[in-house]
Amino acid sequence: MSHKRIPKRRAAIAAGGVVALGAAAVLLPHANASQDGGSAGGTAAPRTLKAADASDLASQLAGLLGDAFAGSYYDAGEQQLVVNVVPGDDNQVIVEAKKAGADVREVDNSMGELRGGARTLKSEASVPGTAWAIDPRTNKILVTADSTVTGARWDRLESTVEGLGSGMATLRKSAGTFKTFASGGDAIFGGGARCSLGFNVTAGDGAPAFLTAGHCGVADDQWSDAQGGQPIATVDQAVFPGEGDFALVRYDDPATEAPSEVNLGDQTVPISRAAEATVGQQVFRMGSTTGLADGQVLGLDATVNYPEGTVTGLIQTDVCAEPGDSGGSLFTQDGLAIGLTSGGSGDCAVGGETFFQPVTTALEAVGATLGGDAPGGAGEQAGGEEAGEEQGGGVGDAVGGGDQTGGGQAGDAEAGDDAGAGAGGIGDGTGAGHEDGSESTG
């Protein structure tokens, strides 16, 4: 399968290199005195880290700090990991966090309190068109209501947020409408619905497969790589709504080549492994409707109340997406698989909020591994400094190039209606043209 539409309006990756200091190796919970000049209470300046290294360090520090840990985020400008802590009796763990290279700051709300607030929102304000996620940059819960939340539903949401107490949550209004983006990675088609392939994986029994959105998986059992074409893959597992939005789809031909990469059109980005998202991290999304787009991670463990039901455990970002992008790849410049496009509001003209299924959670749930038919190969490609630079330049060139949008008509109303019925009511007939001149099913 191939995908060729890469709109020029997408943002490019910065060309400057980042110094990687091996975050996985710098955390030493029992560091000796010689590491800080002989002072047991000494501190170290925050280290410069790549986002991927910062994510690894954040996971380790969460375990080290225990109840004192109140979330973390990546400061892209300073290229540092910022770790929130609540004041306590054991200051030594904070010293150790600083030794590990984090910028440590004290905050008021613990993770337990923030998660408790999220549980209250779920029990008292789970109305369609609402979403919330913990934002470590503000040390609050970011609560968002789309344009459909009005009248009594808005009053209920507002009252619940106020009931959490001052300084616990922020409530904001979105101009768009939360919806799944089923309608385009590579385009896949099933039962009138159109989605995007996320990442090729290897199923637990060694068979080639791929991940996509769960609401695509429940829309139809069989999927093709061409509209109206013969099925090439069959859904094995799908979760939506509920604790995630992901599906494992097995290729029908066990000899299918399923490389671990994201197709940008005339070039690919090798994917080495799956990784956890970090708030503040720059990420890229590929989808068959809108091509390549980028933005930042805004929140983790997000809950979204779609019309079809509530989905938990998602990543919230400001990366744009449109109908047809569902299931598409969310990844980093250096080839880490982060998420699968779930849904959100807005479009790629005005922006909006977008939510993604974490790849790590999906892989664990379905028992698959990332790597396609060449285990280790992609990792070797993505692991070297030279290869990493080539990847970054490749994505940047692809985004910054000429307008490759095609001249397709503005939507296929009939196909759009089918897609809406099959996967969450996305039948607005607002598809975009492709380079090959084919019509996009809105």
Annotation marks residue 245 as catalytic: yes
The one catalytic residue among 53, 55, 174, 215: 215
Element spanning 156, H or E:
helix 151-163
Element spanning 330, H or E:
strand 329-331
Q: Please give the structure tokens belonging to residue 442.
A: 């809105």
Annotation marks residue 215 as catalytic: yes
The one catalytic residue among 174, 196, 326, 440: 326
The one catalytic residue among 245, 301, 347, 412: 245
In three-state form (DSSP H/G/I as H, E/B as E, the rest C), the secondary structure along the chain is CCCCCCCCCCCCCCCCCCCCCCHHHHCCCCCCHHHHCCCCCCCCCCCCCCHHHHHHHHHHHHHHHHHHEEEEEEECCCCEEEEEECCCCCCHHHHHHHHCCCEEEECCCCHHHHHHHHHHHHHHCCCCCEEEEEECCCCEEEEEECCCCCHHHHHHHHHHHHHCCCCCEEEEECCCCCEECCCCCCEEEECCEEEECCEEEECCCCCEEEEECHHHHCCCCEEECCCCCCCCEEEEEEECCECCCEEEEEECCCCCCCCCEEECCCCEEECCEECCCCCCCEEEEEECCCEEEEEEEEEEEEEEEECCEEEEEEEEECCCCCCCCCCCEEECCCCEEEEEEEEECCECCCECCEEEEEHHHHHHHHCCEECCCCCCHHHHHHHCHHHHHHHHHHHHHHHHCCCCCCCCCCCCHHHHHHHHHHCCCCCCCCCCCCCCCCCCCC
Give the active site residues. 215, 245, 326
